Structure 1
Amino acid sequence: MQQTKTLHYVLAALGAAIIAVLAQLSIPLPFSPVPITGQTFAIGLVVTILGLRTGSLSVLLYILIGAAGAPVFSQMTGGLGIVVGPTGGYIVGFLPTAIIMGYYMNKLGYTYWHSLIANLIGMVVTLAFGTVWLKIAADLTWYKAFMGGVYPFIPLGIVKAALAAWLGIVVRNRLKSARLLSEVA
């Protein structure tokens, strides 16, 4: 039992580290206050691999580490100011995204198609949280918040969701075959 708990926490920490590393893949957009980042891909990948419990713990750990000031958010930023700033809604939305995705896959199965659907749902949840927050924090109209916080991210978001689903299922199946995931996810 203790070994299982330890493995659960180690995997959660590794998941948070994966999110932090992939968050640094960032492309600023001249027409949007929100950059294209690897964070959403990383969230989908980690939750697809680790499942509801461990994947959500990874995301929570990532958010807490970043809010505490470690430069783990995109463009090597961190701190509570980022979380409550105009793009903080995306970060806050990562946790409900992880929970909804993990719950969906736990109920319907860890297959590529279910993972793809879960990742697409996750993209919508993250974009919804981020856009509402962006509208309020930056005092934008709904149109400007949508055009700057959703519209430019849809095509690449679909690609990231498909890639996270495919790679996540491949890695998850290999970890299960190696008996590294059997009791924790």
Structure 2
Amino acid sequence: MTKDQLKLRSLILTALFAAIIGIMAQLFIPLPLVPITGQTLAIGLAATILGSRYGTISVLLYLAIGAAGVPVFAEFSGGVSKLVGPTGGYLIGYIPTVFIMGLYLEKTSFTIKNAMIANTIGMIITLIFGTAWLKIAANLSWTAAFMTGFMPFIIVGLVKAFLASWIGILTRQRLISAKLLFPERLKEKDNKVA
């Protein structure tokens, strides 16, 4: 397989993950200011399966599609107003989140244990970005922003981190076995589940 064919497959997977993030964003539980959505689970899967580079590109593509007005954000919404509204910090926070998660896995190994650590770190990064922006956009005190934008999401975030780690590593292994995913530097430890 040529280098161009490998790159094309990676780009197709990247576009597929942008679509998966948009679909999973529609799974939500409404809360007063910030809903619980499936987006963060999809972000965790993108980083765990694709790594830092292609995971980040998939998030950038997702955000660009949403900013252009396609209703891929939570509750079938879209537009730039969502990026600057109260939940915009969570959306923008997905960029460093997926990059750092993927980078952590690339520097350690793609195992469920390391994926759980990466996904937990990612959850915290997203919540920090989201809470800080919520404070500014909704003109809240730090305490109110923390209590509405951070605290309600910790338990659910840990559950999503576990699911993204477990499903992500198993899916990554299947994609590599099926020759649908070609990590730049496939390591022996990439093939372990533990």
Cα pair 1:88 1:133 within 8 Å, conserved: yes
Residue in structure 2 matched with residue 7 of structure 1 by the alignment: 9
Cα pair 1:4 1:183 within 8 Å, conserved: no
Q: Distance in 1 between matches of 2:164 and 2:7?
A: 26
Q: Distance in 1 between matches of 2:173 and 2:51?
A: 12
Deviation digits for residues 149-173 of structure 1 (CA, Å, limit 9, x no counterpart): 0111001110000000000000000
Cα pair 1:82 1:88 within 8 Å, conserved: yes
Deviation digits for residues 21-43 of structure 1 (CA, Å, limit 9, x no counterpart): 000001111xx300000000110
Residue in structure 1 matched with residue 46 of structure 2 by the alignment: 46
Deviation digits for residues 58-115 of structure 1 (CA, Å, limit 9, x no counterpart): 1110011101111000000000000000110000000000000010000001000000
Residue in structure 2 matched with residue 23 of structure 1 by the alignment: 25
Cα pair 1:54 1:184 within 8 Å, conserved: no
Residue in structure 1 matched with residue 155 of structure 2 by the alignment: 155
Secondary structure class of the residue paired with 1:140? coil
Q: Distance in 2 between matches of 1:183 and 1:171?
A: 13
Residue in structure 1 matched with residue 144 of structure 2 by the alignment: 144
Q: Distance in 2 between matches of 1:6 and 1:184?
A: 14
Residue in structure 2 matched with residue 125 of structure 1 by the alignment: 125
Partner AA of 1:24 in structure 2: Q
Residue in structure 2 matched with residue 173 of structure 1 by the alignment: 173
Q: Distance in 1 between matches of 2:47 and 2:25?
A: 15
Q: Distance in 2 between matches of 1:124 and 1:168?
A: 19
Residue in structure 1 matched with residue 88 of structure 2 by the alignment: 88
The CA RMSD over aligned residues, in Å, is 1.0
Partner AA of 2:165 in structure 1: A
Q: Distance in 1 between matches of 2:153 and 2:184?
A: 33
Cα pair 1:8 1:184 within 8 Å, conserved: no
User: Would the alpha carbon gap of residues 179 and 48 (structure 1) be closer, same or farther in structure 2, given more than 3 Å must change?
Assistant: same
User: Would the alpha carbon gap of residues 184 and 21 (structure 1) be closer, same or farther in structure 2, given more than 3 Å must change?
Assistant: farther
Matched, 1:78 2:68: no
Matched, 1:115 2:115: yes
Q: CA deviation at 1:184?
A: 5.7
TM-score under structure 2 length normalisation:
0.92
Q: Distance in 1 between matches of 2:184 and 2:130?
A: 30
Q: CA deviation at 1:179?
A: 1.3
